[in-house]
A = this chain, B = another copy of it.
Amino acid sequence: MTDAHTEPLAQRYTAVRQHSLALSSALTPEDQCVQSMPDASPTKWHLAHTTWFFETLVLQSHVPAYSVHDARYAPLFNSYYESLGPRHPRPQRGLLTRPSLAEVHAYRSAVDSAMLRLIEGPLMQAAGESKLHLLIELGLQHEQQHQELLLTDALHLMSLNPLRPAVMPGAEPSWLSLHALDGESERTPPGAWLDQAGGGIDIGHVGAHFAFDNETPRHRVWVEPHAIARELVTNADFQGFIDDGGYRCASLWLSEGWQAVQALGWAAPLHWLEDGLEFTLQGAQPRQPGQPVRHLSFFEAAAYAEWAGARLPTEFEWESAATGPTPPDHAFGQVWQWTRSSYDPYPRFRPLAGAVGEYNGKFMVGQMVLRGSSLATPPDHARATYRNFFPPATRWQFTGLRLAKDL
């Protein structure tokens, strides 16, 4: 595992970049090319896009002599940066059978060489290390986000194949397995609550370590007395909701959620299969009752909470508990936890200047905040102030929930 704060940058750069390739090592060129839905991207595209990010925002902007690897790539691998020129339509990313996977690997190698020359060369100092270091760290954090998306997107693709191939057959990479729960054994008694006194609390990132702009500035929020569940909701818990008719009871649901249930025929979390199986990165596997339930939409999480006589925590309650003296169990490394907070800007929030300002701010509408991190999040990418966000109907991410209640 890399460490963003202490490790030499060259070493960290190499480790992060290498990890993307490790994650996709069991996937064929075909697996890495296909796009399963407009919201998902092919593995190959993730590998190329993260490389384009370094090439465009670091090398082209800061290395005068840098010669673009292939000028035709920019519109193909620009995701959503309006200020960086035209883009290939997102729903057509899966049509890009060329450049081939081998060519994309070559693209990565070429950019990595140039990046390492930059990192270890004199330009780094001349440019003012801290600013350029921050930009490179942004690129690494960006790649780590795409590492998670790479896995969830590949999982979604494989789930639509009747042959049910595994994204990661056999043993998991160590940082994944480290975070697997061992069934019921290590769980606290269900129903345990952690009381929170409330009052004025400080929320958001401050300090020298990296954070995205959307985690700032640190500011005061007033929170009422409440309790937050010590544990995540499990598969067994959620089975109780299903068995009690939760998917058929309109009064538990937000109006838009109920429409989704009816229109899309939801009757269980995504990736739940017949006969007690679920579809995982290791293919179809027996569902473990004590494992945190995952692949839930916000709507399902909120309906479950209503059914349980509780509610979802706000993102402020979550952050306050996670940074308090008695943090809840499994805040990180299992599932992203839906909160009852819309993804609005913090007071005095301003996006970063330049193209990187398109990173977060322009998505601040119509999405819900998730906190924590999942089994697919690189551990050194997680932090208590991190604000993940997705539209409320999203199900293909590793998303679950933790309950809260008023006191």
Contact of B345 with A340 in the complex, beta carbons under 8 Å: yes
Q: What distance in Å separates the Cβ of A75 from its nearest Cβ neighbour in chain B?
A: 7
Interface residues of A toward B: which range? 35 or more
A365: contacting residue among B219, B254, B344, B364, CB under 8 A: B254
A208 at the interface (CB under 8 A from B): no
A120 contacts B by Cβ under 8 Å: no
Whether a CB of chain B sits under 8 angstroms from the CB of A222 is yes
A221 in the interface, Cβ–Cβ < 8 Å?
yes
**Which of A100, A219, A341 is most buried by chain B, counting CB atoms within 10 A of its CB?**
A100
- Does A162 lie within 8 Å of B75, measured CB to CB? yes
Q: Does A88 contact B (CB under 8 A)?
A: yes
Cβ contact within 8 Å between B30 and A161: no
Which residue of B has the minimal Cβ distance to A368?
B365
Alpha-carbon distance between A236 and B367 when the two chains are bound, in angstroms: 33
A359 to chain B, nearest CB (A): 11
Flag the segment in A3-11, A91-99, A188-196, A375-383 that touches B: A91-99
Copies in the complex: 4
Query: Which of A31-39, A145-153, A266-274 is the interface stretch?
Result: A31-39
Measured in the bound complex, the distance between the Cα atoms of B83 and A348 in whole Å is: 43
0/1 string, A71-112, CB within 8 A of B gives 1: 010011000101100001000101111111100000000000
* A52 adjacent to chain B (CB < 8 Å): no
Shortest beta-carbon distance, A125 to chain B, in Å?
Answer: 32
The proximity string for A residues 374-393 relative to B, scoring 1 for CB distances below 8 Å and 0 otherwise, is 00000000000000000010
**Could you tell me the distance in whole angstroms from the C-beta of A310 to the nearest C-beta in chain B?**
12
Contact between chains at B365 and A100 (CB < 8 Å) = no
CB-CB under 8 A from A358, the residues of chain B are 251
**Chain B residue at minimum C-beta to C-beta distance from A75:** B162
A366 near B392 with CB under 8 A, answer yes
Q: Given A82-B258, A365-B254, A365-B368, do A222 and B224 touch, yes or no (CB 8 Å)?
A: no
A97 touches B31 (CB 8 A): yes
Query: Which residue of chain B has the shortest Cβ distance to A159 in the bound complex?
Result: B95
Nearest B residue (CB) for A83 = B251
Chain B residues whose C-beta falls within 8 Å of the C-beta of A95 in the assembled complex: 34, 36, 157, 160-161
Please measure, in the bound complex, the distance between the C-alpha atom of A102 and the C-alpha atom of B274, giving whole angstroms: 30
Q: Shortest CB–CB separation between residue A405 and chain B, in angstroms?
A: 10
| Chain B residues within an 8 Å CB radius of A31 | 97-98
Tell which of B34, B97, B255 touches A97, judged by Cβ atoms closer than 8 Å: B34
Pairwise interchain contact A348-B224, C-beta atoms closer than 8 A: yes
Q: Does A204 contact B (CB under 8 A)?
A: no
Asked if A289 CB lies within 8 Å of chain B CBs, one says no
Please, how many angstroms separate the alpha-carbon atoms of A364 and B392 in the complex?
11
A61 at the interface (CB under 8 A from B): no
Docked pose: A402 CA to B342 CA in angstroms = 22
